[in-house]
Amino acid sequence: MYIHAGIVLGVIVLVFALARFLKLSTELAMLGAALAGLIVHGLVVPSRELVGAFAWFEVPRHIVDGAFTYFDVVLIFLTATLFMNLLKDAGGVAYIVRGIVRRFHRHRALALLFLTVVMLIPGALTGSGTVTVLVVGALVGTVLAYMGVSEVRVTAIVFMCAAMSAAAPPINLWAMMAAAGSNMPYVGFFLPLGVLSVLGALFSMFYLGWKGTPIDLEQIMTELPKPPRGMRWWKVVVPFVVLFGLIAAGRVWPWAMPVLGLPLMFMIAAAIVVLTNLGQLRLIKVISDTVEQLLPLVGVMVVVGILVQVMALSGARGLISLGIVTMPLVAIFATLFIILPVSEGLIQYAVAPLIGVPLILLFNMKGFNPIIALAGMAAMWPIGDMLPPTSVVGRATVMILGFKGRYYSGFAKTCLVPAAFVLLLGSLFVVFSSRLGFLVGG
């Protein structure tokens, strides 16, 4: 069994590396690796008691079964991002940012605080740092530049806040995927994830953005994109009120309200944006752009599902899990800060089922609080989104802001201190999870 699982795992790693070398995208490389693993498993599977030869007819079924693994999450992801993009297309985001600048240009601390909030919302709702960068990154970047923050620091702030927005509740995809994999309710994460992500984002914003020059209001107002004439504050507020109202109603009157589910709630909020901005939106274009924007992320979730199915089938998942749960705890704690971001950079969301789930089962067994521990880890993973080979959010940030400096010695190095802060905080949450149990309330 060890040899068989080892062979399949080896083939998966090898094909992935080779495909990357041949300039295939991470998602396709992972798909290729999964399919190769599946075929090799069929070819070399050892003889097993009670069953005959490997049934090749099951191969397509395994592929599609795997593709369905995160289908719920994919729908949430698509609908939430569609909502945010419609709001942006209607000019709502520009409207809010201009409002913050006009109101707080004399109070640096307040301005930074509100910019942090603006940065956190898209990712908190969609679970994606990339969405944050795409929806608000450029606007916040412009404001920060006018506040006298250097280009490299602006890039670092946008990345760090985007990473923290992905970690922020209610939607943290790592925690959701790992919780689902360990039969654990995705409940009680709001506060621990909230504390971690808000502290991380505020630290990054203030540490990197505190020094600067006062804002020249006239100049920045001509520079920032102008919302369309019909834009009013209520057009931004109402969709959010309805969205949170629907979520709250589901909690307050759970048995009187029909079950809507998050995707439909986001679609309702999106419909309100459309209705309040009739004639202003390029609807089909926004939907089409949203799907294109999300393709790498949705693609990676579908492909990770297939990979997980193949690894479960062949025992490769068991081998990895076994390797992790039989490691000494001290070694795990001491290396979390490096293992988590690096693995995220390598295989993205696949870390949640492959590394997160066995760790959670181990922590649970050893008497740690699994919710706090998972929240700690789920705040550390997004830091890896600036690391190769994928560097998804890092690349998006550099691209959107048009950062011309060096990626590693400039941008990545500037992120180092706030990233270390988040990694330390996350590690402390894991190690002292049993004493932080009081955070598991909401």
Scan residues 252-311 and list those touching another protein (CB under 8 A).
254-255, 258-265, 267, 287-288, 291-292, 295-296, 298-299, 302-303, 305-306, 308-310
The contact pattern for another protein, residues 127-166, with x = CB under 8 A and - = no contact, is: ----------------------------------------
Task: Work out which of 44, 65, 113, 228 binds another protein, going by CB under 8 A.
Answer: 65
Within 36-55, the residues that bind another protein by CB under 8 A are: 45-46, 48-51
By beta-carbon proximity to another protein, the closer residue of 302 and 396 is 302
With 0-12 CB in 10 A as exposed, 13-18 as middle and 19+ as buried, what is 274? middle
Q: Does 7 bind another protein (CB under 8 A)?
A: no
What is each CA distance from 90 to 117, 200, 201, 228, 415, in whole angstroms? Answer: 20, 30, 27, 7, 32
How many C-beta neighbours within 10 Å does residue 67 have?
18
Q: Does 315 bind another protein (CB under 8 A)?
A: yes
By beta-carbon proximity to another protein, the closer residue of 1 and 278 is 1
- 3-state SS class at 409: helix
What is each CA distance from 55 to 38, 244, 329, 440, in whole angstroms? Answer: 12, 48, 40, 46
Angle at 224 between CA 218 and CA 229, to 5 degrees: 95
What tokens appear for 25 in the block? Answer: 């995208």
By beta-carbon proximity to another protein, the closer residue of 53 and 229 is 53
By beta-carbon proximity to another protein, the closer residue of 133 and 175 is 175
Q: Does 74 bind another protein (CB under 8 A)?
A: yes
Inter-residue contact 76 to 263 (CB < 8 Å): yes
Q: Which residues have CB under 8 Å from 400's CB, separation 6+?
A: 133, 134, 137, 138, 141, 158
Task: Work out which of 358, 370, 376, 382 binds another protein, going by CB under 8 A.
Answer: 358
> How many angstroms separate the CA atoms of 169 and 404, rounded?
33
By beta-carbon proximity to another protein, the closer residue of 1 and 229 is 1
By beta-carbon proximity to another protein, the closer residue of 158 and 193 is 193
Q: Which residues have CB under 8 Å from 150's CB, separation 6+?
A: none
Q: Give the nearest distance from C-beta 396 to another protein in angstroms.
A: 16
Q: Does 228 bind another protein (CB under 8 A)?
A: no
Within 385-414, the residues that bind another protein by CB under 8 A are: none
